[in-house]
């Protein structure tokens, strides 16, 4: 059974769910999982990265995200140097804002990890040497802030992490790997939905953005996300509604209209289907989390 790395061993000392582990010589390591996510930045050398169902060579510039429940390890390492940026996105609470409208963000931080966990998926971002140097600089700044612990270090370390996420998202969008381009097309659909969820959206409109036929988009979207684009849109609207219900005193009907539902009763039914609660119950019990 894979070992499990505990959050307390990396985050407890600072109270910040963000840490950098600099490895100057990565030895072979058996499969393990984490209670957090891991952004891997290969700095030099080579080796084989493996999961329960897949393995592939890695070398300088390779960058990928492993979410906590996925087991992975390394073997056949040769001078392998890397940064592991450990983070708990839920606890870190960074304001994603319009980064969720970036196709590269969805591709790298959501779609790739989702597909990698299912096996038979080797795609990852390969940074140019110039971009690798920029990424290393940002990671080193995070590391320095956490090490120095000067007043404001949690804020500044988090800010540098946000810059790193944004930079990698843009690099992903600029890549030309075939599998990566496919994920960017799906990411463009997710990003478009994030920015336009409150207005009517047709399937054909999404297919045009992805440069796919409607049937191809439906098939690819279901395979990757597990739901249809329309069901994803409904869930996205429900998440946005939940934020409004927690943050202000907007009436339920007005909340429904603001997130794109034309019918308050339909909104309430869908809200209960997704969350298990009515909008009113959710407002009273805001500790419940959207699935």
Distance of CA 104 to the CA centre of its chain: 10
Encoded tokens for 226: 């597990």
Say how far apart CA 56 and CA 26 lie, in whole Å.
16
Is pLDDT larger for residue 179 or for residue 162?
A: 162
> What fold, for 3-174?
Jelly Rolls (2.60.120)
Q: Classify 23 in phi/psi space as left (phi over 0), alpha (psi -120 to 50) or beta.
A: beta
Point out the least confidently predicted range of 73-82, 89-98, 129-138, 226-235.
89-98
pLDDT digits (tens, 9 = 90+) for 111-125: 998 888 776 566 789
Is 54:119 a contact under the CB 8 Å cutoff?
yes
Residue 84: how many other CB atoms lie within 10 Å:
19
pLDDT digits (tens, 9 = 90+) for 241-278: 998 998 767 889 999 999 999 999 999 999 999 999 99
Q: How confident is the model at residue 291 (pLDDT cuts 50, 70, 90)?
A: very low
Is 132:43 a contact under the CB 8 Å cutoff?
yes
Helix-helix angle 153-174:178-196, to 10 degrees: 120
Is 145:160 a contact under the CB 8 Å cutoff?
yes
Q: What would the mean pLDDT of 96-110 be, rounded to a whole number? A: 91
**pLDDT for 182:** 87
Say how far apart CA 118 and CA 95 lie, in whole Å.
29
CATH of 231-284, one of 1.20.1260.10, 3.20.20.70, 1.10.10.60, 1.10.260.40: 1.10.10.60
Q: What would the mean pLDDT of 24-42 be, rounded to a whole number? A: 94
- pLDDT above 70: residue 1: no
**pLDDT for 204:** 95
Is 197:233 a contact under the CB 8 Å cutoff?
yes
Q: What would the mean pLDDT of 71-97 be, rounded to a whole number? A: 93
Q: What is the mean pLDDT of the chain?
A: 92
Pairing of strands 3-5, 72-87: unpaired
Burial zone of 100 (CB within 10 Å; 0-12 exposed, 13-18 middle, 19+ buried): middle
Q: What would the mean pLDDT of 125-135 be, rounded to a whole number? A: 96
**pLDDT for 69:** 84
What is the DSSP-derived secondary structure letter of residue 85?
A: E
What is the DSSP-derived secondary structure letter of residue 199?
A: S
Q: How many helices (H) and strands (E) does the chain have?
A: 13, 8
What pTM, to 2 d.p., does this model score?
Answer: 0.87
Strand partners, 132: none
- pLDDT above 80: residue 287: no
Is 277:285 a contact under the CB 8 Å cutoff?
yes
Is pLDDT larger for residue 83 or for residue 96?
A: 83
% of the chain surpassing 70 pLDDT: 96
């Amino acid at each position: 059974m894979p070992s499990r790395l505990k959050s307390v061993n990396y985050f407890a000392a600072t109270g910040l769910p963000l840490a950098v582990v600099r490895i100057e010589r990565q030895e072979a390591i058996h499969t393990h999982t984490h209670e957090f996510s891991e952004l891997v930045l290969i700095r030099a050398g080579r080796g084989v990265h493996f999961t329960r169902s897949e393995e592939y060579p890695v070398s300088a510039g390779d960058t990928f995200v492993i979410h906590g429940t996925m087991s992975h390890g390394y073997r056949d390492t040769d001078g392998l140097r890397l940064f592991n940026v450990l983070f708990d996105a839920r606890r870190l609470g960074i304001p994603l804002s319009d980064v969720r409208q970036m196709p590269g963000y969805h591709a790298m931080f959501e779609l790739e990890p989702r597909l990698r966990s299912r096996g038979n998926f080797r795609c990852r971002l390969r940074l140019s040497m110039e971009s690798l140097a920029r990424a290393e600089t940002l990671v080193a700044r995070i590391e320095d802030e956490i090490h120095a612990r000067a007043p404001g270090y949690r804020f500044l370390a988090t800010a540098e992490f946000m810059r790193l996420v944004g930079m990698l998202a843009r690099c992903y969008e600029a890549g030309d790997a075939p599998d990566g381009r496919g994920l960017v097309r799906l990411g463009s659909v997710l990003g478009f939905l994030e920015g336009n969820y409150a207005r009517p959206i047709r399937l054909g409109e999404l297919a045009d953005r992805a440069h796919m036929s409607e049937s191809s988009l439906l098939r690819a979207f279901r395979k990757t996300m597990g739901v249809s684009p329309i069901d994803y849109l409904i869930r996205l609207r429900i998440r946005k509604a939940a934020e409004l219900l927690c943050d202000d005193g907007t009436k339920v009907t007005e909340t429904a209209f603001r997130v794109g539902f034309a019918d308050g009763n339909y909104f309430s039914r869908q809200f209960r289907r997704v969350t298990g609660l009515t909008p009113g119950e959710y407002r009273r019990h805001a500790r419940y989390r959207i699935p």
